């Protein structure tokens, strides 16, 4: 059931380590050891293909991390304009099975001419078209995950039936750019519906479980979180780009701090010592349900985060690590949803 005082979540972006399985293995080991709530995985997409080293895509990174972890939530960022919704539903459901209920996903949209040309689709023209694409994808994923009721698999030896066909349902979705008949080809995920994250304002509030707040200042983030709460979005997580001082290596001296693309994305940027970040996260905890840390240098910043920041937040009662085997919905204090088709039959 939903918590009245939901746990405060610490998410850390690990997609920069997707250049190799070895890097992903090391990254998830560090995040498990330090007890963060969530590892997010963002790949390069199409924007930087010509200028950056190739990386595994976000779902592949999360899937590789699944058997290497036991408590950390695994949340890939998916640009829905570059995927087929039916296959995305099965990929994410499989990730939920592989992680024993620790999967979620961040819905985002590119829709640029470069991406559209790669898939022989028209580009998405304007914010309204991108919002519709994300809304349609979130809706159809939920229908597909619910298309198998929880008791659909019966394994009835006497009648030779593996499934109760009355407990499988068509999705019957018609969207602006795609249609899906359904049902899915795999059973309902462990969590029923995976937690859906999305940048605040990018999708209809009723479709989003966790709004990602991307604002440049704490004051602006607080206002946005309040708006999201008033619209009925269950959880808000504030994104913060972080460059932490390390022993003998001040953050200001490191290349890439602050990151130019972080400022363009409108995130809060923090560069400095651990004490300052502790104070910032504590302030965020007064109006939001978590932070998503985007480290400028994964190795240096995550080590300092685990050494100095997280222990202090635990001592102050701001943050508690997730338990091994806990579903991500439980770690976030989200209710487990009733299957929409089973509810209609009651």
Query: How confident is the model over 255-290, as pLDDT tens digits?
Result: 554 444 445 568 999 999 999 999 999 999 999 999
Residue 135 binned pLDDT confidence (cut-offs 50, 70, 90): very high
Residue 113 binned pLDDT confidence (cut-offs 50, 70, 90): confident
- Positive/negative CA dihedral, 212, 215, 217, 218: negative
Q: Chain centroid to CA 102: how far?
A: 11
Rounded Cα distance, 164 and 216, in Å: 52
43 within 8 A of 16, measured Cβ to Cβ: no
51 three-state secondary structure: coil
Model confidence over 311-344: pLDDT tens digits?
999 999 999 999 999 999 999 999 999 999 986 7
- Positive/negative CA dihedral, 290, 240, 315, 16: positive
Q: What is the mean pLDDT of the chain?
A: 91
Among all chains, which residue has been given the structure tokens 């023209």?
Answer: 125
> What pLDDT shows up at residue 117?
82
pLDDT above 60: residue 4:
no
> What pLDDT shows up at residue 227?
98
> What pLDDT shows up at residue 47?
61
> What pLDDT shows up at residue 1?
38
Q: Per DSSP, what are the bridge partners of residue 294?
A: 241
> What pLDDT shows up at residue 28?
97
> What pLDDT shows up at residue 51?
56
pLDDT above 60: residue 213:
yes
> What pLDDT shows up at residue 194?
98
Q: Is 224 exposed, middle or buried (0-12, 13-18, 19+ CB in 10 A)?
A: buried
127 three-state secondary structure: helix
pLDDT above 50: residue 2:
no
Residue 345 binned pLDDT confidence (cut-offs 50, 70, 90): low
163 three-state secondary structure: strand
Question: Can you read off the two tokens belonging to residue 65?
Answer: 């991390």
Percentage with pLDDT > 90 across the chain: 78
Tell which residue, 131, 136, 64, 133, has the closest CA to residue 94.
64
106 within 8 A of 78, measured Cβ to Cβ: yes
- State the pTM of this model: 0.93
Residue 3 binned pLDDT confidence (cut-offs 50, 70, 90): very low
Q: How many residues does the chain have?
A: 346
Residue 116 binned pLDDT confidence (cut-offs 50, 70, 90): confident
């Amino acid at each position: 059931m939903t918590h009245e005082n939901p746990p405060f979540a610490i998410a850390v972006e690990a997609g920069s380590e997707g250049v190799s399985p070895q890097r992903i293995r090391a990254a998830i080991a560090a995040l498990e050891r330090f007890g963060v709530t969530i590892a997010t995985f963002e790949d390069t997409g199409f924007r930087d293909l010509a200028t950056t080293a190739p990386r595994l895509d976000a779902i592949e990174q999360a899937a590789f991390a699944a058997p290497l972890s036991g408590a950390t939530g695994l949340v890939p960022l998916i640009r829905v304009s570059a995927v087929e919704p039916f296959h995305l539903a099965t990929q994410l459901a499989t990730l939920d099975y592989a992680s024993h209920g620790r999967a979620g996903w961040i819905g985002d949209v590119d829709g640029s001419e470069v991406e559209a040309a790669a898939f022989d689709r028209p580009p998405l023209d304007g914010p309204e078209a991108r919002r519709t694409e994300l809304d349609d994808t979130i809706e159809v994923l939920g229908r597909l995950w619910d298309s198998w009721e929880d008791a659909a698999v019966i394994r009835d030896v006497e009648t030779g039936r593996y499934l109760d066909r009355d407990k499988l349902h068509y999705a019957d979705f018609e969207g602006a750019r795609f249609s899906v008949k359904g049902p899915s080809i795999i059973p309902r995920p462990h969590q029923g519906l995976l937690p859906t994250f999305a940048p605040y304002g990018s999708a209809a509030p009723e479709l989003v479980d966790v709004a990602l707040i991307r604002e440049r200042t704490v004051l602006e983030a607080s206002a946005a979180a309040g708006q999201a709460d008033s619209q009925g979005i269950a959880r808000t997580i504030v994104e913060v780009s972080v460059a932490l001082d390390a022993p003998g290596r001040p953050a200001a001296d490191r290349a890439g701090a602050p990151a130019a693309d972080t400022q363009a994305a409108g995130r809060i940027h923090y560069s400095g010592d651990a004490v300052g970040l502790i104070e910032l996260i504590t302030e965020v905890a007064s109006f939001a349900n978590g932070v998503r840390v985007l480290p400028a240098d994964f190795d240096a910043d995550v080590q300092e985060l685990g050494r100095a920041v997280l222990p202090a937040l635990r001592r102050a009662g701001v943050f508690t690590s997730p338990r091994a085997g806990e579903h991500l919905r439980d770690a976030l204090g989200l209710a487990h949803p009733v299957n929409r088709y089973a509810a209609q039959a009651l």
